[in-house]
Chain A
Amino acid sequence: MAAPDDATPGEHAGHDPAVRDPEVRDPAAKRPARGERVVTQPVPDDGPHDADAGACPARPPRRSFLRGALGAGLTGAVAGAAAGAGAGYAYSSSQAAPPGQLFDANMVEGRLPAVPFHGRYQAGILAKPQRQTIMLSFNVTADGRGELTDLLRTITGRARFLTAGGIPPQAGIGGPPSDSGVLGPTVVPDGLTVTVGVGSTLFDDRYGLAARKPAGLTPMTAFPNDDLDPAQCGGDLSLQLSAGSQDTVLHALRDIARHTRGGMQALWRIDGFSSPARPAGTTPRNLQGFMDGIANPDTGRAETMNSLVWVQPGARGEPAWTAHGSYQVIRLIRMFVEFWDRVDIIEQENIIGRRKDTGAPLDANMEFARPNYTLDPTGAVIPLTAHIRLANPRTPQTEANRILRRAHNYDRGIDAVGDLDMGLIFTCYQQDIARQFVTVQTRLIGEPMADFISPFGGGFFFALPGVRDTRDYLGRGLLA
């Protein structure tokens, strides 16, 4: 199972750090000395900004969904303008920094800058996993296409406001406060990203969207080692809220839910976190204690993302509206950590194919070294069944199978025998589920790792194209 390390092959040809993921290329250089301010790039929207400032505040309605969706587009008019409308995300260093880069210092300060909401792509896809996340699936209860449109406009409007931050409107004596106040009187952006996907069930006969279904969108495939709980699988919509701290994502969830009660009902939910790098500068670890996502493709290279992550305009068989979206696979994977902790280190490392301490492939000394399987054809050093070797054989033929991993850890209590219920919210993005996730996962069937994990939920979704500007909304191309 694609549990711990890199179900994704690194696509880097050699050990030259210059071609590696810029987010991790030279971690030490990114870490400021204690007390030093991070000045990586100009950040256009550093922190909360008062709705008083700048343009004329358009007073958003207290509730837009079913109280008239008119206001949804207005809600973020102020915020959106400040957040840099229309730009793509993450390719250019002149853009606002992805949350990961300013992570250390801002995490300590408890304050991450706003991540621009508007763009060609949804901002939460390429962004490195943030400290806190909430992953939810909803079934849509909206009655007809018009209400579905209201729902997506409302989610867009709330996301636009929440990601930019600002002061919520005042209710006066006409009702309860418009905001929960969980983040104080001013909503701070805290690096919030809101990522929305649609599941195959949304394309049934309810909304007349059957002809617009993304070509590769199906219900989630079950694999031999899975133990899927239907109550924690699938759904019409996926919603992921990620930010620097837990109160931020919970605030966002309460806000979005409050504005969309009639339009959707949560089906399943799981909260996750990403650990700090230990030691600093390395790739964060999952709950098996191994670094997770070392070999991800380079999100800084548009060319790579266009061949692996984003559905391209004019892609064969795909409806036009899917361009700049991406297929999202979510797999909820329990890890039997007590069992795992009773396994000796040699066996653990052979199961993964990497050193537990440094993250290095077993045939090398450095975390980002490329394993050389041609020199090890019988698996004498890295077993043929090692997770990283099955997931990414590093051959020219398997390059197109790579995925972008965006996993978080989860921890939610205990099971019937008192063992800890923790594991991984495995999330990955790709251009084509069959060519990428399913192919990789099929290679992993029967891997030794399978004894220590149990996939129990999740779903296949299509992450919508980004929202271009204040007039645009999530799913406009799908519904127009």
Chain B
Amino acid sequence: MLTGPVRVGRVPAGTVRVGRVLAGTVLAGTVLAAGLSGCGTHTAAGNVITVSAGACGTGWRQVTAGMQTFQIRNSSIGGAEVDLINPASGAVYAEVAGLGPGTTRPMRVDLGSGRYAFRCLIQDTDPLTGPVVRVGGHHQGAPAILPVTTDDLLGPARVYHAYVSAGLTTLVRQVSVLTARIRAGHLAAARAAWLPAHLTYERLGAAYGTFGNYDTEIDGRPDGLPRGLSDPAFTGFYRIEYGLWHGQNARQLDAPAAKLDSDVRALRGFWPGMEINLLDLGLRTHEILENALQFQLTGHDDYGSGTTLATTAANITGTRETLGVLHPLLAARDPGLAAVSAGLDRLSRLVSAARHADGHWTPVSKLSTIQREQIDAAAGQVLEELAPIAAMTEPRRS
């Protein structure tokens, strides 16, 4: 099953708004006098910022530090994105995206002392940067974040692609062991082989969207199928788990095992030609664990083996891998990265405590209240820490 919800980002799969090097004219610094020194009362209703084919960000009137609301009006004939940027670095303070022709939308921002400009990205035209405006005083406003471009993401995507390749190779080998044991009728041995194979798959969370239908075939749930657990379309790891832990015999499990075996081989075969959606890398940094919270920590995806905490541990590994490939981009952007790391360590430590020396795992339903609360709290906390990364790493035009 698609373990990561498919999100429609503003950037369609694969294709990203082409990152043209700033071709617009940077109008030399028109300095508008700063009014107050640090804070003031203004709703800036008068600050209507107009975007048109030839102009970007005209209309600044009173410019003071503190909370400001700009009314961004698109007078062009195409859709537009308008960013408020630091003209020196290109870092973005605020954005209004998907601004239709003829429409006006507010942009709220806490302006600190410094230099600002609007940058307009109108559909099918080169980016345009408006006049530079200086805000005086000594107010610390909202921080700006350097946008991530498609090019920035290509390297991480390549590294992640290789990680998945290696994982799929291991997966094919482990699934063939599982299949052989089922075929031979060695069901106890098959139960032992099921978990490592499943966990290998569960470590590849950022790629599920790319896997497409294979993900449903390999790791789908019976939810939503007309005949539920006995529906012929219920295939993959959970189907086999259900059979192995509910007294089904080798004959009943032979076909599902053969199908899983052929699906993972086919996936490995196609993988070299599959491209990772660049948007997915950032999204999955929190979505993998969103799914773990929803389906594993609740016990929803326990089809008999009682190993959803093992799955959670695999999902933590998958999350760390995704963060690892993005680290070069995040280090300069996310001040919460240390908290993310500490949060994952905490969650990992709590989850691992459910693994016993003989390798079996405590099912979530058997955790003590305190253990469960500690795990759920740590999962919720690290998800909050992870959430900003998707926004920060969304590929943007520059």
Measured CB to CB, the residues of A under 8 A from B are 50-57, 59, 62-63, 65-67, 139, 141, 143, 167, 169-176, 258, 261-265, 267
Q: Which residues of B73-113 are within 8 A (CB) of A? A: 83, 92-95, 108-110
Give chain B nearest CB distance to A87 CB in angstroms.
25
Q: A170-B142, A173-B92 are in contact. Are A262 and B41 (CB under 8 A)?
A: no
Does B39 sit at the interface, judged by CB under 8 A? yes
Whether B67 pairs with A52 at a CB distance below 8 angstroms is yes
Bound together, the chains give a CA A59 to CA B95 distance in angstroms of 19
Size bin of chain B's contact surface = 35 or more
Given A50-B43, A263-B377, 17 further pairs, Cβ under 8 A: A53-B41, A55-B39, A59-B141, A63-B384, A65-B381, A66-B339, A143-B346, A169-B110, A171-B388, A172-B94, A172-B142, A173-B92, A173-B392, A174-B145, A174-B333, A261-B377, A261-B383
Neighbouring A residues of B41 by C-beta, 8 Å: 52-54
Does B272 sit at the interface, judged by CB under 8 A? no
Neighbouring A residues of B142 by C-beta, 8 Å: 59, 169-170, 172
Nearest residue, chain A, Cβ from B396? A173
Bound together, the chains give a CA A53 to CA B93 distance in angstroms of 22
Interface centre among A54, A143, A265 (most CB of B within 10 A): A265
Q: A50-B43, A52-B43, A53-B41 are in contact. Are A173 and B145 (CB under 8 A)?
A: yes
Neighbouring B residues of A262 by C-beta, 8 Å: 343, 346, 377-378, 380-382
Whether B109 pairs with A67 at a CB distance below 8 angstroms is no
Whether A139 pairs with B108 at a CB distance below 8 angstroms is no
Q: Which residues of B331-375 are within 8 A (CB) of A? A: 333, 336, 339, 343, 346, 369-370, 373-374
Neighbouring A residues of B139 by C-beta, 8 Å: 56
Interface centre among A51, A56, A65, A262 (most CB of B within 10 A): A262
Give chain A nearest CB distance to B350 CB in angstroms.
10
Neighbouring A residues of B343 by C-beta, 8 Å: 66, 262
Whether B92 pairs with A172 at a CB distance below 8 angstroms is yes
Whether A176 pairs with B387 at a CB distance below 8 angstroms is yes
Whether B39 pairs with A175 at a CB distance below 8 angstroms is no
Does B301 sit at the interface, judged by CB under 8 A? no
Does B391 sit at the interface, judged by CB under 8 A? yes
Does B144 sit at the interface, judged by CB under 8 A? yes
Q: Which 8 A-B pairs have the closest CB atoms?
A: A262-B381, A175-B388, A261-B380, A56-B39, A141-B377, A265-B373, A261-B381, A52-B67
Whether A57 pairs with B67 at a CB distance below 8 angstroms is yes
Neighbouring A residues of B390 by C-beta, 8 Å: 176
Bound together, the chains give a CA A143 to CA B369 distance in angstroms of 16
Whether A172 pairs with B109 at a CB distance below 8 angstroms is yes
- Dominant secondary structure of chain B at its interface with chain A: mixed
Whether B370 pairs with A176 at a CB distance below 8 angstroms is no
Whether B109 pairs with A59 at a CB distance below 8 angstroms is no
Bound together, the chains give a CA A56 to CA B95 distance in angstroms of 24
Bound together, the chains give a CA A261 to CA B387 distance in angstroms of 13
Whether A52 pairs with B384 at a CB distance below 8 angstroms is no
Does B147 sit at the interface, judged by CB under 8 A? yes
Whether B66 pairs with A56 at a CB distance below 8 angstroms is yes
Bound together, the chains give a CA A261 to CA B380 distance in angstroms of 5
Give chain A nearest CB distance to B78 CB in angstroms.
21
Bound together, the chains give a CA A169 to CA B139 distance in angstroms of 15
Whether B391 pairs with A175 at a CB distance below 8 angstroms is yes
Q: How many inter-chain contacts with C-beta < 8 Å in the A-B complex?
A: 107
Give chain B nearest CB distance to A396 CB in angstroms.
46
Neighbouring A residues of B66 by C-beta, 8 Å: 52, 56-57
Does B38 sit at the interface, judged by CB under 8 A? yes
Does B42 sit at the interface, judged by CB under 8 A? yes
Bound together, the chains give a CA A265 to CA B42 distance in angstroms of 40
Interface centre among B95, B336, B377 (most CB of A within 10 A): B377
Nearest residue, chain B, Cβ from A52? B67
Give chain B nearest CB distance to A438 CB in angstroms.
27
Q: List 29 A-B contacts (CB under 8 A).
A: A50-B43, A50-B67, A52-B41, A52-B67, A54-B41, A59-B110, A59-B140, A59-B142, A63-B385, A67-B339, A139-B370, A141-B373, A169-B110, A170-B108, A171-B388, A172-B93, A173-B83, A173-B391, A173-B392, A174-B143, A174-B145, A174-B333, A174-B388, A174-B391, A176-B391, A261-B377, A262-B378, A262-B382, A264-B377
Neighbouring A residues of B95 by C-beta, 8 Å: 172-173
Interface string of B29-41 (1 = CB under 8 A from A): 0000000001101
Bound together, the chains give a CA A57 to CA B147 distance in angstroms of 26
Does B263 sit at the interface, judged by CB under 8 A? no
Whether B144 pairs with A172 at a CB distance below 8 angstroms is yes
Does B376 sit at the interface, judged by CB under 8 A? yes
Neighbouring B residues of A173 by C-beta, 8 Å: 83, 92, 94-95, 145, 147, 391-392, 394, 396
Nearest residue, chain A, Cβ from B387? A176
Bound together, the chains give a CA A50 to CA B333 distance in angstroms of 30
Q: A59-B142, A172-B95, A173-B94 are in contact. Are A265 and B376 (CB under 8 A)?
A: yes
Bound together, the chains give a CA A143 to CA B378 distance in angstroms of 11
Bound together, the chains give a CA A55 to CA B369 distance in angstroms of 45
Whether B110 pairs with A170 at a CB distance below 8 angstroms is yes
Nearest residue, chain A, Cβ from B140? A59
Give chain B nearest CB distance to A435 CB in angstroms.
32
Give chain B nearest CB distance to A61 CB in angstroms.
9
Give chain A nearest CB distance to B112 CB in angstroms.
9
Nearest residue, chain A, Cβ from B336? A67
Bound together, the chains give a CA A267 to CA B110 distance in angstroms of 38
Nearest residue, chain A, Cβ from B92? A173
Neighbouring A residues of B370 by C-beta, 8 Å: 139
Nearest residue, chain A, Cβ from B383? A261
Nearest residue, chain B, Cβ from A68? B339
Nearest residue, chain A, Cβ from B380? A261
Give chain B nearest CB distance to A266 CB in angstroms.
9
Neighbouring B residues of A66 by C-beta, 8 Å: 339, 343, 381, 385
Nearest residue, chain B, Cβ from A168? B108
Neighbouring B residues of A264 by C-beta, 8 Å: 377
Neighbouring A residues of B43 by C-beta, 8 Å: 50, 52
Neighbouring B residues of A143 by C-beta, 8 Å: 346
Neighbouring A residues of B388 by C-beta, 8 Å: 62, 171, 174-176
Nearest residue, chain B, Cβ from A262? B381
Bound together, the chains give a CA A424 to CA B393 distance in angstroms of 49
Give chain B nearest CB distance to A176 CB in angstroms.
5
Whether A52 pairs with B94 at a CB distance below 8 angstroms is no
Give chain A nearest CB distance to B386 CB in angstroms.
10
Whether B94 pairs with A170 at a CB distance below 8 angstroms is yes
Bound together, the chains give a CA A171 to CA B141 distance in angstroms of 12
Bound together, the chains give a CA A267 to CA B391 distance in angstroms of 32
Bound together, the chains give a CA A56 to CA B42 distance in angstroms of 12
Give chain B nearest CB distance to A346 CB in angstroms.
47
Bound together, the chains give a CA A147 to CA B90 distance in angstroms of 38
Interface centre among B94, B141, B346, B380 (most CB of A within 10 A): B380
Give chain A nearest CB distance to B193 CB in angstroms.
36
